[in-house]
Amino acid sequence: MAAHPLTIKHGWVWALSIFIFFFNTFLLPEGFTYTLLLTPVWIYLLYLQGRLNLALILPVPFLLYAAVHLVLGVDVDHYLISVTLMVALCTFLVAAGYYINNKAVDLDFIFRDIAILNFLFTIAAIPLLFFPSLSHVTWYTVPISKAMIFPRLKLFTEEASHYSFLIAPIVIYFYSRVLFFKTTNPILTLFIVSFPLALSFSLGVLSCILISGAVITVVYFGRVFSTFKRRSYVILITGLLAALFWAANRFYPGNPLFARIHNIFNGEDTSARGRTYEAFILANKVIAQKSFLWGIGPGQLKIIGRNIIIQYYSYFNIPKVIRIPNACAETIVCFGYIGFSIRIIAELVLFFVTKVYTNPYRLWLFLFVFIYQFTGSYITNVAEYIVWMIAFSPVFPEYTKRPTDHSLKTAML
């Protein structure tokens, strides 16, 4: 393995990236993250970077919205707490954006270290399945479909879907490396990044990766199939997947994957329903209490929407926290269809302004997260905004070149 490219000056960025990636919510009460608790650190970094003025501008849009929400009526305490959390998140993202775009910080090396550590953590988590008192630390066992309780890998996150989304940009990065560059040990690399993702059993994330990946393959067909070796790898992997599906259907037709897909198409998968169309049904029921254009305001769902959601699902055991697990639907709840329109327009404008389409990896990330926001996530999801930020940043410029440049990195994990 090559020497670590991070300088001493930015070595702490590597350490902090690793910590936040794996442990951002670990051992914290629900709703708290280390990125939130470290807000004074981000403010200090912004001061050092000369970007503190930008952080001071961030609350302005929230103040403009607050003027409308206060007229409509809100619980001020919950409103102020939620807006403060959103501003704190924005402060972190401004600070993080500086280092994502800093050439002294090697994102490639950080991604590789995360992939290796993630695989090692996954291997270490497997024995915990045999210890019920410890398995909850790294495995998610909440039912996801009708009569289906299946342990799903979550490592140190709150649930399996959060974990799978967290590692998605890392998986996409190494898939892109295999597709577009000469690589060593591609099969081993793909296994290292794919095995933990498969154990999370998050069909939403997997589907979004596959759909966006299929689009990338079509758009960059000439580059993906530019060499006989690369064509062979694609055919081999496709053949192996087809063989696995055939074998599973032939010898184990009742396997969890097929059972869950069957439940999804029959509308019996509670996780899939709650993260897709039901999220928008509930969002419209909630904002009907206040305003379709402006929403009900941040922090108001637990007050206005709790009874609506409980009645809709007819809970036998009422959960302590009631939420809508869909970023777009939650945007509609908090900021109405005006806020939702601003969200989508901003994404599309940044897509063209930053020329995402010129870089296969960034385009794959953009397509993935653009689709996923309609099927999951939440409005204060740090991981989602980091993905957006990477997609809109001029990182990994080697993807914009033809793969004939032998100076491009070819080593894999």
What single string gives the DSSP state of each residue in 347-368? HHHHHHHTTGGG-HHHHHHHHH
At residue 117 the predicted structure's pLDDT band, cuts being 50, 70 and 90, is very high
Q: Percent of the chain beyond pLDDT 70?
A: 93
**How far is the C-alpha of 354 from the C-alpha of 362, rounded, in Å?**
10
Is 407 part of any domain? no
Find the domain containing 204 and state its range: 8-400
At residue 2 the predicted structure's pLDDT band, cuts being 50, 70 and 90, is very low
Is 116 part of any domain? yes
Q: Of 132, 146, 122, nearest to 200 (Cα)?
A: 122
Is 328 part of any domain? yes
Give residue 406's pLDDT. 38
Q: What is the four-CA torsion angle of 33, 37, 38, 43, rounded to 10 degrees?
A: 120
- When divided into structural domains, the chain yields a total of 1
Give bridge partners of residue 148 from the DSSP assignment: 145
**How far is the C-alpha of 394 from the C-alpha of 150, rounded, in Å?**
40
Structural contact between residues 51 and 43, judged by C-beta atoms closer than 8 angstroms: no
Structural contact between residues 217 and 176, judged by C-beta atoms closer than 8 angstroms: no
Is 410 part of any domain? no
Q: DSSP characters for 190-210? A: HHHHHHHHHHHT-HHHHHHHH
Give residue 405's pLDDT. 40
Is 411 part of any domain? no
- Asked whether the predicted pLDDT for residue 52 surpasses 80, the reply is yes
Six token digits for residue 239: 């053949």
Count Cβ atoms below 10 Å from residue 146 Cβ, excluding itself: 14
Is 122 part of any domain? yes
Give residue 355's pLDDT. 95
- Asked whether the predicted pLDDT for residue 412 surpasses 70, the reply is no
At residue 141 the predicted structure's pLDDT band, cuts being 50, 70 and 90, is confident
pLDDT in tens, 309-364: 988 887 777 777 788 999 999 999 999 999 999 999 999 999 999 999 999 999 99
Task: Report the alpha-carbon angle 299-303-309, nearest 5.
Answer: 105
- Asked whether the predicted pLDDT for residue 229 surpasses 80, the reply is no
Is 111 part of any domain? yes
Is 409 part of any domain? no
Give residue 6's pLDDT. 44
Q: Of 84, 89, 31, nearest to 321 (Cα)?
A: 31
